[in-house]
């Protein structure tokens, strides 16, 4: 599938007063791009961007949307999130460990989200996934929440948009080291690769070399995906903290047909 290559205005990361992208790093000669984290997302800005945070944000978004819950992402995980939720008549989700200490709260855990009843609107604070999503949306990109659970549905949606002439970027969110530098997380590479492999299988061409690496990384572990996710650093960390069910929930490939697209403040299902 050949598509018209269009270039979105790049999003300047917080703290930058100029465009920091060097020649080639925007991958603009390719219709399908891949780069890491908020700075990478800004560099490879495209018409449609799939954000992937497998062991937290986007998997939880997909589970919530599956259950008919309107998800309002929020950049900060502090007192501002509580005010934001109250103003929008929504329930604020708290961190996994906080939920253990606060009975009756809704957790950012995807396994816990699958058990939520009687809630229609929820605020999901996330310094990674939400920050990337809002920055991209502010720059004019259509933002999609992708995960292993809904990878094929997201691929089908993006492929349709590309047939209309859109360019695409897939952004694995990654994690943070203690010094706040980006830690590329292999589970997010696999999640991004699952979406990219789906695009290739649907006939999409024009992947950048970076996108090809993610695609091939996913294909390499697909046959034993659950074990790979459980054995990676992020999976081991969650299991050690008592959240092995979250790893299992995140590893369920293509169990969902939802396509959460950020429309205004909320993720809305655009799946067919």
DSSP structure class, residue 31: S
Q: Tally the domains of the chain.
A: 1
Q: DSSP alpha helices (H): ranges in 44-103?
A: 57-66, 79-87, 96-101
pLDDT band at 61 (very low <50, low <70, confident <90, very high): very high
Q: Model confidence over 116-168: pLDDT tens digits?
A: 888 999 999 887 888 899 899 999 999 999 999 999 999 999 999 999 999 99
Closest C-alpha to 57, from 127, 157, 156, 112: 127
Q: Is residue 51 part of a domain?
A: yes
In angstroms, the Cα distances linking 244 to 53, 55, 63 are 17, 11, 16
Range 19-27 average pLDDT = 82
Q: How far apart are CA 217 and CA 261, in angstroms?
A: 25
Q: Is residue 130 part of a domain?
A: yes
pLDDT at position 125 is 87
Range 163-180 average pLDDT = 95
Q: Is residue 198 part of a domain?
A: yes
Percent with pLDDT over 90 in the chain: 73
- Print the domain residue range for 117: 27-265
In angstroms, the Cα distances linking 154 to 113, 213, 214 are 20, 19, 16
Q: How far apart are CA 15 and CA 226, in angstroms?
A: 38
pLDDT band at 219 (very low <50, low <70, confident <90, very high): very high
Range 261-270 average pLDDT = 95
User: In this structure, what token pair is assigned to residue 122?
Assistant: 């929820």
Q: Is residue 15 part of a domain?
A: no
Q: Is residue 17 part of a domain?
A: no
Q: How far apart are CA 93 and CA 99, in angstroms?
A: 9
| Residue whose token pair is 């018209």 | 4
pTM over 0.85: yes
Range 200-223 average pLDDT = 98
Q: How far apart are CA 60 and CA 113, in angstroms?
A: 7
pLDDT band at 272 (very low <50, low <70, confident <90, very high): confident
User: In this structure, what token pair is assigned to residue 189?
Assistant: 């590479």
- Among 73-77, 137-141, 209-213, whose mean pLDDT is lowest? 73-77
CATH of the domain at 56: 3.90.1560.10
For residue 245, pLDDT beyond 70: yes
Q: How far apart are CA 188 and CA 232, in angstroms?
A: 11
Q: Is residue 166 part of a domain?
A: yes
pLDDT at position 99 is 60
Q: Is residue 13 part of a domain?
A: no
Highest-pLDDT range among 105-109, 167-171, 177-181: 167-171
**Mean pLDDT taken over the chain:** 90
């Amino acid at each position: 599938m050949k598509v018209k290559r269009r270039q979105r205005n790049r999003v300047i990361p917080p703290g930058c007063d100029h465009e920091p992208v060097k020649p080639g790093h925007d991958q603009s000669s390719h219709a399908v791009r891949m780069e890491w984290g908020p700075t990478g997302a800004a560099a490879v800005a495209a018409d449609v961007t799939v954000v992937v945070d497998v062991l937290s944000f986007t998997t939880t978004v997909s589970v919530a949307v599956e259950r008919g819950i309107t998800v309002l992402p929020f950049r900060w995980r502090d007192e501002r999130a509580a005010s934001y939720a109250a103003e929008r008549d929504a329930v604020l989700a708290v961190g996994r460990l906080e939920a253990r200490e606060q009975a009756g709260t809704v957790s950012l855990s995807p396994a816990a989200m699958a058990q939520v009843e009687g809630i229609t609107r929820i605020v999901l604070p996330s310094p990674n996934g939400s920050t990337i999503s809002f920055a991209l949306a502010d720059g004019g990109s259509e933002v999609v929440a992708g995960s292993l659970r809904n990878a094929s549905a997201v691929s089908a949606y993006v492929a349709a948009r590309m047939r209309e002439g859109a360019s695409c970027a897939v952004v694995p969110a990654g994690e943070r080291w203690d010094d706040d530098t980006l830690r590329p997380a292999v589970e997010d590479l696999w999640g991004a690769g699952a979406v990219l492999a789906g695009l290739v299988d649907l006939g999409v061409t024009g992947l950048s070399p970076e996108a090809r690496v993610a695609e091939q990384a996913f294909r390499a572990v697909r046959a034993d995906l659950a074990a790979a996710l459980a054995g990676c650093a992020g999976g081991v960390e969650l299991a050690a903290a008592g959240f092995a069910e979250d790893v299992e929930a995140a590893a369920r490939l293509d169990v969902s047909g939802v396509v959460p697209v950020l429309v205004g403040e909320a993720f809305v299902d655009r799946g067919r």
